[in-house]
Amino acid sequence: MEVTKFLKRVQTEDFYAGQIAHKHTIPARSARFAELSPPLPAKLARLLKDTGVEKLYVHQAEAVKLLRGGEDTVVVTSTASGKTLCYNVPVLSSLLEDPEARALYLYPTKALAQDQLRVLQRYMGPKGIEFRAGTYDGDTPASSRRKLRDEARVLLTNPDMLHSGILPNHAKWANFLSRLRYVVVDEIHSYRGVFGSHVANVLRRLDRIAAHYGARPVIAASSATIANPGEHAEKLLGRAVRVVAEDGSPRGRKQFLFWNPPTIDVGEMERRSSNIEAAELVTRLVLDDVQTIAFVRARVVSEVITRYAREMLGKHRSSMKDSVHPYRGGYLPEERRAIEKRLFDGDLKAVISTNALELGIDVGALHASIIVGYPGSIASTWQQAGRAGRGKDEAITIFIPYNTPLDQYLASHPEYFFGRSPENAIIDPGNPHILMAQLRSAAFELPLEAGEVEAAGEYAPSILELLEDEREIAFVRGKYYWTGKGYPSADVNLRNISPNIYTIVNEKAGNSVIGTIDESSAFQQVHPQAIYLHEAETYFVNTLDTEKKVAFVEPANVDYYTQSITETQVKVDREEKSREWRIAKVSFGDVSVTSLTFMFRKIKFGSRDSIGYGKCDLPPQVLETAGLWIVPPPETFAEVRRHGRTPGEGLLGVSNVLREVLPLFVMCDPLDVGTTVNSRSTDSPAVYVYDKYPGGLGFSLKAYDLVEEIMKAALDLISSCTCARGCPSCVGSPIPPFSQLDPETGGKGMIPDKEAALVMLHHLLEIGPYTPRAVERAPGEGTPPERPRGKPLPLELQGKLRAELHKKARAK
Amino acid sequence: MSERRIDLKRELEELKKRAEGVFTARRSAIPPRPRTAAVRLADAAAGEETAGARGVFYRIRADAPAIWPDAPAFHREYLEALAGAFFPPAPPFAPLRALRDVPPERAFYLDIETTGLGGAAPLFLVGLMYSSGASLVVDQLFARDYSEEAAVLSYLAGLSRRFDALVTFNGISFDVPYIRDRATVHRIAFAPPAVHVDLLHVARGVVAGRTPNHRLQTLELHLCKRKRIGDIPGAEIPGAYHEFVRTGDAKDVANILHHNRLDLVTMLQLVTIFLSSRS
């Protein structure tokens, strides 16, 4: 596309009011090719030529060479750099060279596996290579499963299916597994935290079962850009790997714009709607015939923006209305396939998508990507940006921040974004909780030998002893045998998602299913009287049947949508242990995190005005888990206050920082733990850290022993942050609390006061004294009156008063 | 470590509870058994350690009268029915015709006992029964622990080659695929005889609707007019076997072997009854 021309024109339009806050140019890069040695089988070389591949880029050539030479390899290059070819070429060549060879492809999602099957099909058939390939997942009909087992030479599946469907039934797969030459593990950056730790174990299980049948497949992995691709791959795959990171693909020049909606009030606090700005840009790009993808954080936003864009397009050219479409989870698979196809064929000009399209589904060459709201990580942002631009064409990425402190921070500090390296992917396959679940499955599949157990992690022998005590394992003649009941794999869900999926049916169309939604989202989005948006159309929710797990809706032509309000509370159920940590008290025990969706607001399309409220009568959703809580003494609060700062903000800042630093100490993903501030169960406000898994997975337990180290790291992180008043990488949390909501309609959240957190941490760690910087006032803020100062309350009295307050709160 | 252990225990309970949820329907509560002195295997079942290509296992081989006084009579009736001129004309009986085409000593009855319902759970007992001249032989191949499964399977593979026909109850969907899978795991070539008569399939056609269901013990009650007393319920067998492996106490092994023999004899008797059906 002609980006410069487009930008010039946009700036002359009526709606332009200086939105371009920053322009960053990523220069073009020309392709670098390399010769393959040894050359490919002639047939494959011809086939590649027929599909438009004349030469291989350097990274492709290197990966192909390594993989064909039997080296486990991870390819870490940019989006659309031709990573798929890196593994498809060696696999196809093995299929040609060895009529018995088999390959297993693992993808994090079903949709991706199906998409990649279509890529493989280009090489299949009478003109290409004769072989069978198929996807094997929960949707595969029983009648096809056997055929796939017996005939497929390339099987595309996901880790969940490998875990619960293939490995426990390995005898039926013996033929396939014994001939396994390659295992492809695509998008390994998505295997992080608990999910990644499970997958690492599943891959080790695959390794031992394949070895049992005499196979030692070569692993081909690929990853989007993360800070530690090699380390992550080795931990995940359990093997030493070669890293191929020299990207030889060409890239047209790319403009990366920060597009900040203009302020609309005198105080410059309110800004024009980011969703509407996004729709405006989509509309202009579509009218210019530029294929565009917009990424949004919440499902509802993909619908709302589509609606706006269709309306705007309709005014210009009504025939274009249908060329914009939402794309998100919860759509029926065939609906998603249809959208992907229309996008690929060029019939669809713009898609407004959640991160469902962030992974590498091939939708062809898009020229513009719009990122509406910070996706929560640098790595994700680059992934989304990378969706625009393929080959040498010029491309554009536009980041539109919301009017929230975090997004606005990024808008005013572009150097922060461009200077920062993407996040680490962290996994801990030896986490005792995960390991126990996985050892049960492994022993069921094949008795564990002593040597294997030693290699499985330091806790493995003790875990097996425990399982022996519980009569699930018997140690007989040097091997551990499964003697428990049932299928242990069925007890474990690799992902932290509720297995309860609700269906959404249209009562006015014979109860036909229009979509699906997971349980916790169902409560927030399809409660009775909610407006459910589907393909940008409004549906009224008549009933939500929590027994049958069905939401009954009917089309309703209304000019508003709804946003529910959910309150989350954490409370202590049982204190298991506690200790004095310096001047504070740290406790660990059972906590429950209760989310209650209690009301909803009606939001008018366009103006974003609240036009009404309603009550929700839904049961609370309770997560019973393990957590730790730190209760600072009253002196710490007094110290913060002495500096004219608010202790509550300090605590909130500490809680946000904990989520940043804790994962490194307890080996999890930031999304695996929750942190919050609450005073319901303690005498004064406490910082909570809890595992986001029922029963807990040991993160907060481990953190309990490491409080000193973790708090020191928190202090280091804030102290060494160069920001002035707090930013997303220190006291501001990049993870929005209610990711399902339209960021324009909810509370804005805040970046808490950095200095308050610093005072608090210095005091708690008994380092000090710390003198905070003077309170800075933003221009135009004026000087508010000083807080009146009186006689400080004696500490005991403070405690008593607080206790009284809490007693009242609890009685309510 | 101790705290972590407790924590894991709690989690294990959770996992177990979930597993129970799936399987309670198939499991009845196991009543506590009185503690008695440990029973040695040799006392529970007179057999001998037998060696095959894949190691040793325990083989209990006996003429039928030694295990059940009525068995010779059942066997005589069975041989008569096979040799008789009459064959029930209704289509559901047709599969049985194959049994008349092979000499009685070239057909064997088979029933296995396993530690699970499929997947990767080992089997530990292969019960076989066949005619040997005028006598009926019960031949049970027993793995004294999980490591002897390969020996049992390899021996079975050799034995099965000497027969022309196989009779099972639900063997088409359970016993034979189970054996095949377990043999695959141990890389043992197992080929059942070409003729396989699955009595469950015959029974479905024959008794259609006249018994509450088509389970072997239901047919035993309604067709053979026998009721088992003191038999170990099938669902308890895996647990009882694990207990034997763990403790070496063979108190339940005799029960399991007996249960297996009863199944075999009932299958034989069902064939007799089917072949003599006049309606």
Chain A residues in contact with B27 by the CB 8 A cut-off are: 485
B41 assigned to some structural domain: no
* Region A270-296 average pLDDT: 94
**CATH number for position B206:** 3.30.420.10
> Is the alpha carbon torsion for B232, B235, B238, B239 positive or negative?
negative
Evaluate whether residue B4 is within a structural domain: no
Place of tokens 């806790």: A459
Please answer yes or no on whether B14 and A695 come within 8 Å at the CB atom.
yes
Residues of chain A with CATH 1.10.10: 432-491
Q: Is residue B241 assigned to a domain?
A: yes
The reply to whether residue B19 touches residue A490, judged by beta carbons under 8 angstroms, is yes
Cα A32 from Cα A247, distance rounded (Å)? 8
What is the pLDDT averaged over residues A327-355?
A: 91
3-class state of residue A616 by DSSP: coil
- What's the burial of A89, exposed, middle or buried (CB within 10 Å: 0-12/13-18/19+)? buried
Q: Look at residue A363 in the predicted model and tell me its pLDDT.
A: 76
Helix, strand, or coil (residue A537): strand
Q: Which helix (H) or strand (E) holds A310?
A: helix A299-316
Taking residues A532-547, report their average pLDDT. 95
Query: From CA A7, how far away is CA A3, in angstroms rounded?
Result: 6
The reply to whether B208 falls in a domain is yes
How many residues are given for chain B?
279
B120 at A interface, C-beta within 8 A: yes
pLDDT value of position B30: 38
Rounded distance between C-alpha atoms, residue A552 and residue A505, angstroms: 5
Residue B119 lies in a domain: yes
CA distance A599 to A746: 13
pLDDT digits 0-9 by tens, A643-692: 989 999 999 999 999 988 888 888 888 889 999 999 888 888 999 999 99
Read off the pTM.
0.87
CA distance B11 to chain A (A): 7
Please give the residue range of the domain that contains residue B197: 57-275
A377 has a pLDDT exceeding 70: yes
CA of B119, closest CA in chain A: separation in Å?
5
Q: Give the CATH class of A432-491.
A: mainly alpha
Whether a cis peptide bond, with omega within 30° of 0, leads into B177 is no
* C-alpha to C-alpha distance for A631 and A683, rounded to whole angstroms: 8
Rounded Cα distance between A676 and A658, Å, is 10
Residue type, B264: L
Q: What pLDDT, on the 0 to 100 scale, is given for residue A261? A: 94
Greatest Cα pair distance, chain A, in angstroms, is 90
Residue B10 domain flag? no
Chain A interface includes B182 (CB < 8 A): yes
Picking from A301, A269, A310, the residue whose alpha carbon sits closest to that of residue A373 is A301
- The partner residue sitting opposite A486, judged by closest CB among B7, B19, B145, is B19
**In terms of CATH architecture, what is A3-26+253-419?**
3-Layer(aba) Sandwich (3.40)
What is the per-residue pLDDT across B131-180, written as a single tens digit (0 to 9) for each?
998 899 999 999 999 999 999 999 999 999 999 999 999 999 999 999 99
Which pLDDT value is given to residue A362?
76
B154 found inside a domain: yes
Check B9 against A467: CB less than 8 A apart: no
Start-end of CATH 3.40.50.300 domains in chain A = 3-26+253-419, 33-244
Residues A19-38 have a mean pLDDT of 92
As a whole number of angstroms, the distance between CA A200 and CA A425 comes to: 13
Closest chain A residue by Cα to residue B180: A171
A429 vs chain B: nearest CA distance in angstroms? 16
Question: What mean pLDDT is reported for chain A?
Answer: 90
Check residue B24 and give its pLDDT: 39
Task: Say whether residue A142 is in contact with chain B using an 8 A CB cutoff.
Answer: no
Cα–Cα distances (Å) from A384 to A297, A506, A810, in that order, read 12, 33, 45
Reply yes or no on whether the pLDDT at A349 is more than 70.
yes
Compare CB distances from B184 to A174, A445, A476 and report the shortest one's residue: A174
**Pair A429, A457: CB distance under 8 Å:** yes
Coil vs helix vs strand at A486? coil
B60 Ramachandran zone, left/alpha/beta (phi>0; psi -120 to 50):
beta
| Span A450-462, pLDDT tens digits | 999 988 988 999 9
Query: Do A578 and A584 meet the contact criterion of CB atoms below 8 Å apart?
Result: no
Give, rounded to a whole angstrom, the gap between the first and last alpha carbons of chain A. 61
- A38: preceding bond cis by omega (within 30 degrees): yes
The domain defined by A33-244 folds into Rossmann fold (3.40.50)
First to last CA, chain B: 70
Residue ranges in chain B whose pLDDT is less than 70:
1-7, 9-10, 14-36, 119, 279
Domain presence at residue B24: no
| CA nearest to A713, candidates A641, A632, A778, A659 | A659
Minimal Cα–Cα distance from B247 to chain A, Å?
Answer: 11
What confidence score (pLDDT) does residue B31 get?
A: 40
Tell me the sheet residues that pair with A259: A20
**How many domains would you assign to chain B?**
1
